[in-house]
Chain A
Amino acid sequence: MTWQSETLIEMTCAEVEERLPLHALGLLDADEAAAVEAHLPLCPACQSVAVQFEAVAGAMPLALDPIAPDPAMRAQLMDRLDSGAPSAQVTKLPPTAMSPFRRLGLLAAAAVLLLAIGGGFWINRLIDERDEARTTAAMLQEFVSPNAVAMAMAPMAASEYDWGWGTSRLFKNPAGEMMLVVEGCPPTTEERRYPVWVAMGDDRTPLGDIAIGEDGSGWMMVTFPADIPAPEQLGVSMREGEAPLVDLFLGDMTG
């Protein structure tokens, strides 16, 4: 993976609108889908059209004759809810239990994550709801603007969960500042911290820990050490007790 491979293609509204019917069906190739998703957060008119096609895609199954599931499958599902269901264990902290700084950080992280996955539909609402996040969100938006670049990190086996793969990307804004974003990890009632490192050959140098919150996502600013300005590899690992680190995501920085 290289920075360039993730550089977003800029599209006009007409080019985006032409692709939205196929985008709603998940039929675009990765480059085109990324370009469409980069455009949508910045263009309310195209967002409106996108939602219409998504609504059509979501309604098409209603044309089918419903099929009653096996009652045993429902019973099994209800049993599975009892066995380690994170949702049931998640207790949202009361507002007063969270510092204003942390709330701002979580909101900003949510904003950048939503933008990163093409979900800019919500950014304006988030900002409106929390005026104090406006400045931070605007700053973070630099990392997912068309002038920014991103590098997708390869997910390792340990990042495959029941619901699919976790994902991680490193964003770089035009000023050269970098932000690591991880999402799709197991939700947790307590903040989980994953070590982040860079490597030259087999020598790994820790950069710090990325904090994963109750929504299974997290972000951190990344600065390479002065003596390793151009590392060969960037990685996110997982620590389980005294066991050796297990790699979750690896990014090849040599491209």
Chain B
Amino acid sequence: MADGRSQPAPQQSEPAARTGRRLFAPEDQAIDAALMERVTTGDKAALGELYDRHAPTCLALAMPILRDRRLAEECVQDLFLNLWQRPHTYDSQRGAFGGWLMRVARNRAIDLLRRQRERRFADFAVGAEGTPFDPELFLVDPAPDPAELAASSDTGDRVRAALVSLSGEQREALELAYFGGLSQSEIAERLNRPLGTVKTQIRTGMQRLARQLTGYRPDGTDTE
């Protein structure tokens, strides 16, 4: 896949599915599409292959949100069971299967998190060992060279490079929202920042990621 930075800014009228797809490798999308087609016919082996391809990333995503290995494993299992029961909830016109599955996995993990009403916010902000919750612990070390990562054809490398390029404040707020599953109010409390500041940091952080990964341009201007 070409580096998103070198691609021209998309026209506003560019078909929606295409702009979202360029982030994922075409060959991976083709494999996923073929497996999903088989799943819709009741092919269990195909569901197993999809599980093998995506469950490790789903579990990596669910772990920092739920902070409980058993719960995260159950969350992922239920995710794939639901995919088996309702395969038509995925529509290929919405973009790559991998991206869609990760959004569903995150929503499911956050729903599960919020059902754990007995767990107070402090439980999420402070780890079981009493150490402050550090979302960076859940990220891969971007070394050796962010520039090299950004030029990589691997989507994961490019996403890591894009995250590292954010300001510390943007990255902290965005990662608490995404990987911590916290609401904006919870992040503002956790970071002792005004709510409006947190919203701006998350929004501008996402815009910067989109510029680097999909070629997004907000009217051709930099919003930061």
Contact = CB atoms under 8 A, between A and B. Distances in A.
Given A54-B20, A88-B44, A66 B57 contact: yes
A55 B20 contact: yes
A18 B203 contact: yes
A182 to B, nearest CB: 15
B60 A76 contact: no
A56 B23 contact: yes
A47 B81 contact: no
Contact of A26 (B13, B82, B110, B139): B110
Given A56-B214, A60-B102, A48 B13 contact: yes
B224 interface: no
A73 B72 CA distance: 11
A51 B17 contact: yes
A101 interface: no
Interface stretch (A79-87, A136-144, A236-244): A79-87
Contacts, number: 215
B95 A88 contact: no
Contacts of B207: 21
Given A21-B202, A64-B60, A55 B99 contact: yes
Contacts of A87: 39-40, 42, 84-87
A48 B206 contact: no
A45 B13 CA distance: 5
B61 A48 contact: no
B55 A55 contact: no
Q: Which size bracket describes the interface of B in this complex?
A: 35 or more
Contact of A77 (B77, B111, B199): B77
Interface in A11-29: 17-18, 21-22, 24-27
B85 A163 contact: yes
Contact of A58 (B22, B63, B98, B110): B98
B140 interface: yes
B78 A162 contact: yes
Contacts of B24: 55, 59
B193 interface: no
Contact of B21 (A26, A55, A215): A55
Contacts of B19: 48, 51-52, 55
B81 to A, nearest CB: 6
A80 B24 CA distance: 30
A21 B12 contact: no
A51 B13 CA distance: 12
Contacts of B57: 61-62, 64, 66
A22 B60 contact: no
A62 B159 contact: yes
Given A21-B210, A48-B10, A56-B206, A162 B81 contact: yes
A166 interface: no
Interface string A160-200: 00111000000000000000000000010000000000000
B91 interface: yes
Interface string A92-126: 00000000000000000000000000010110010
Interface in B163-193: 163, 177-179, 183-184
Given A64-B60, A121-B16, A162-B82, A58 B209 contact: no
Which 3 A-B residue pairings sit nearest by Cβ, starting from the closest? Answer: A58-B99, A66-B56, A21-B206
28 contacts: A25-B178, A26-B107, A27-B184, A51-B16, A51-B17, A51-B94, A51-B95, A52-B20, A52-B214, A52-B216, A54-B95, A55-B95, A55-B213, A57-B102, A58-B23, A58-B95, A58-B96, A59-B24, A60-B159, A61-B106, A63-B139, A66-B57, A69-B56, A74-B51, A81-B47, A81-B84, A122-B94, A216-B86
Interface of B: 10, 12-17, 19-24, 39-40, 42, 44, 47-48, 51-52, 55-61, 63, 73-74, 76-78, 80-82, 84-88, 91, 93-96, 98-103, 105-107, 110-111, 138-140, 155-156, 159-160, 163, 177-179, 183-184, 199, 202-203, 205-207, 209-210, 213-216, 218
Interface of A: 17-18, 21-22, 24-27, 44-45, 47-70, 73-74, 76-78, 80-82, 85-90, 119, 121-122, 125, 162-164, 187, 215-216
